A and B are shown apart, each in its own frame.
Chain A
Amino acid sequence: MNSKYFYYKRKLTSSIMMLLTFVAALAAIIPLVFIFYYTISKGVTYLNLDFFIAMPKPVGEPGGGMANAIVGTLILIGIGGAIGIPVGVMTGTYLSEFGNNKFVFLVRFLTDVLSGIPSIVVGVVAYTMVVLPMKHFSALAGGIALGILMIPTITRTTEEMIKLVPHSLREAGLALGIPKWKTTLAIILRTAWKGIATGVLLGLSRAAGETAPLLFTALGNRFWSTNIGQPIASLTVYIYDYAKSPFEDWNQQAWTAALVLILLISVLSLVFRIITRSKYKTN
């Protein structure tokens, strides 16, 4: 009888804990569901071809699109990526492969600190370093701010992914008389590539969604511009401007811009998955 009592007690505890974890999982996805629900339901009204190929219209005139902002966001994360990806991947490689000293400890610590710095602070730094000497806002300044923001994510993911590559592969490379730098490049990085790409994607997505550091670097632009020396439009800054404007029409377009931003990141993610797809089936 006693054993039966414990049996049911154990069963009950198990069920309660299971329920709790299920509720927690549900709570975690609810905000995501709301985000999707609102952006899609509110943003879909203006989602048409025009939104992608037309320029913004003045207040009062209906229609128009955000072609300049879409291209602007792509240029900004392009510049950011051109800075953040090489620096991040190489730093991560250095940390895991070549360093076992105080300098590495310092770099790792500073990278962690950098990842904790609010993005607006990075914007201020880019403002001081690039905008003030150039004497005007520019896509370059915005891109540099985004690049700095990407570095910690990409560095740490690269480091962790390289650490997952079995030590035996390094030894196999070296034992074949392949120099260390080539072993690292052609064997280690090649093996860890998929994981590194995920880190790069995370960095790019985060950068694409940044608004604060762009406000006083890339600024924004009502017109078509692909000149990186000039202010440039971006989806996030448009969302910010349009969402707080008093015009109903603009508020609607802000939702559409948000939807397009999500779509853009999804497409980017899909492209990455296809590029990094392994040549071989894993069994």
Chain B
Amino acid sequence: MEIKLSVKNLDAYYGKNKVLNNISLNIPKNKVVAIIGPSGCGKSTFIRTLNRMHEVVGGTIKGEILLDGEDLAKTDPVLLRKRIGMVFQKPNPFPTMSIFNNVAAGLRLNGVRNKKKLTPIVEKCLKQAALWDEVKNNLDDSGANISGGQQQRLCIARTLAVDPEVILMDEPASALDPISTTKIEDLIFELKKDYTIVIVTHNMQQAARVSDYTAFFYMGELIEFSDTKKMFTSPEKQQTEDYIRGRFG
């Protein structure tokens, strides 16, 4: 099994406040890894360290994260974020841009202006994000005037357009209704053929449905990391079992 991202002894801080303590795990290529745990356990901080968005809000880390064996700390964050895309909890399309330009934003703002080149990419990404049929006739409308579920799929299409290798999803369905959630989950299933996906979720059924591996975080520590089936049927640690059974959190 090929390892895409390797995290070694990772500590993360906001100022002096330590929010992640000695995390080590390997994220395999073309698999879906779910991160679960109660609010405030450091799940979001963890995935934000993977594309160095953690430092955008003034956070710092200790330890090592390797992408294909290459130390993240030594890469240029701008180039890194093209390889590791991110979908946020709340859909955040660019309100001043059309649907087309939202998808093309990452390419256009990095110098690809040729519409002939962009059109097939935009179409392909919207199809991949299962949004094409719903928006193909109004690609020039504002990206903010579609429904929340559509906006989130637009954000996924926008992430795909940059052609990343890894996609990080920070509770991508928590602001959506059940039907949109199902669509996003189906999408994740399709996407893992081409991408490595790390998804943070509050919803344990969702983790069980979409992921191959699950990591359980609690109070900034990685309590357990294993095969999703095993985690949800016979967890090794008592804490994991209590959380999965709904006894706390």
- Residues in A lying within 8 Å of B, measured CB to CB: 166, 168-179, 182-183, 186-187, 190-191, 193, 278-281, 283
A81 CB to nearest chain B CB (Å): 23
- Interface status of B141 (Cβ within 8 A of chain A): yes
The chain B residue with its CB closest to the CB of A178 is: B109
Count of chain B residues with Cβ under 8 Å from any Cβ of A?
31
Q: A186: which of B81, B83, B109, B155 is its contact (CB, 8 Å)?
A: B109
The proximity string for B residues 43-55 relative to A, scoring 1 for CB distances below 8 Å and 0 otherwise, is 0000000010100
Return the contact of A175 from the options B86, B95, B142 (Cβ within 8 A).
B86
Residues 88-103 (chain B) with a chain A CB within 8 angstroms: 88, 90, 92-96, 98
Q: Is the CB of A175 within 8 A of B145?
A: no
A174:B56 contact, CB within 8 angstroms:
yes
Q: Compute how far the CA of A211 lies from the CA of B118 in the bound complex, rounded to whole angstroms.
A: 53
Question: Which residues of A lie under 8 Å from residue B79 when comparing CB positions?
Answer: 177
| Bound form: Cα–Cα A176–B110 in Å | 10
A96 CB, min distance to chain B CBs, angstroms: 15
**Residue B153 at the A interface, CB < 8 A?**
no
Q: With A172-B94, A183-B109, A193-B96 given, name 19 new contacts (CB 8 A).
A: A170-B56, A173-B94, A174-B56, A175-B81, A175-B86, A176-B81, A176-B85, A176-B106, A176-B162, A177-B79, A177-B80, A178-B109, A182-B110, A190-B96, A191-B95, A279-B142, A280-B144, A281-B142, A283-B145
Contacts of B82 in A (CB 8 A): 176-177
B96 touches A191 (CB 8 A): yes
**Residue from A174, A178, A281 in contact with B145 in the complex, judged by beta carbons closer than 8 Å:** A281
Contact B110 A177 (CB under 8 A): yes
Partner of A191, one of B94, B155, B158: B94
Residues of B within 8 A of A (CB): 51, 53, 56, 78-83, 85-86, 88, 90, 92-96, 98, 105-106, 109-110, 141-142, 144-145, 155, 158-159, 162
Known contacts A168-B88, A280-B142: does B96 contact A178 (CB below 8 Å)? no
> How far is A170 from B92 in the complex, measured between Cα atoms in Å?
10
Which residue on chain B has the smallest CB distance to residue A100?
B58
Q: For A166, what are the chain B residues with a Cβ–Cβ distance below 8 Å? A: 92
Report B82 CB to chain A, min CB distance, Å: 3
- Check if A171 sits within 8 Å of B142, measured CB to CB: no
A174 to B168, CA, bound (A): 14
A253 → chain B, closest Cβ, in Å?
46
Residues of B contacting A193 with CB < 8 Å? 96
Q: Which residues of A contact B86 (CB under 8 A)?
A: 171, 175
> Are B106's CB and A169's CB within 8 A?
no
> Shortest beta-carbon distance, B53 to chain A, in Å?
6
Chain A hits for B53, CB < 8 A: 171, 174-175
Q: Assess A172 versus B162: contact at CB under 8 Å? Given A191-B96, A280-B145.
A: no
* Closest residue on chain A to residue B80 by CB atoms: A177
A176 & B159 in contact (Cβ 8 Å cutoff): yes
Complex alpha-carbon distance, A278 and B144, angstroms:
13
Closest 7 CB pairs of A and B: A177-B82, A280-B142, A176-B106, A175-B86, A168-B92, A177-B81, A172-B92
Q: How far is the CB of B97 from chain A (nearest CB, A)?
A: 8
CA distance A127 to B78 in the complex (A): 48
CA distance A168 to B86 in the complex (A): 12
Question: A172 touching B78 by the CB < 8 A rule?
Answer: no
* Most chain A beta carbons < 10 A, residue from B79, B92, B93: B92
**When the two chains form their complex, are residues B92 and A182 in contact, meaning their CB atoms are under 8 A apart?**
no
- Cα A169 to Cα B81 in complex, Å, equals 15
Report chain A residues within 8 Å CB of B95.
169, 191, 280
CA distance A175 to B88 in the complex (A): 10
A-B contact pairs, 19 of them (CB 8 A): A169-B92, A171-B56, A171-B88, A172-B92, A173-B109, A175-B85, A175-B86, A175-B88, A176-B82, A176-B105, A176-B106, A177-B79, A177-B83, A177-B106, A177-B162, A187-B94, A187-B109, A279-B98, A283-B145
| Residues on B with beta carbons closer than 8 Å to the beta carbon of A168 | 88, 90, 92
Most buried by A among B85, B109, B110, B145: B109
Out of A174, A187, A281, which one reaches B81, CB within 8 Å? Answer: A174
Q: Which residues of A contact B145 (CB under 8 A)?
A: 280-281, 283
Closest residue of chain A to B164 (Cβ to Cβ) is A177
Partner of B155 from A172, A173, A177, A190 at Cβ < 8 Å: A172
Inside 8 A of A178's CB, which chain B residues have their CB?
A: 78, 105-106, 109-110
Of the residues A170, A278, A280, contact of B141 by C-beta under 8 Å: A280
A278 CB contacts on chain B under 8 angstroms: 96
Chain B residue contacts of A179, Cβ below 8 A? 78
Measured CA separation A177–B53 after assembly (Å) = 11
Q: Which residues of B contact A279 (CB under 8 A)?
A: 96, 98, 142
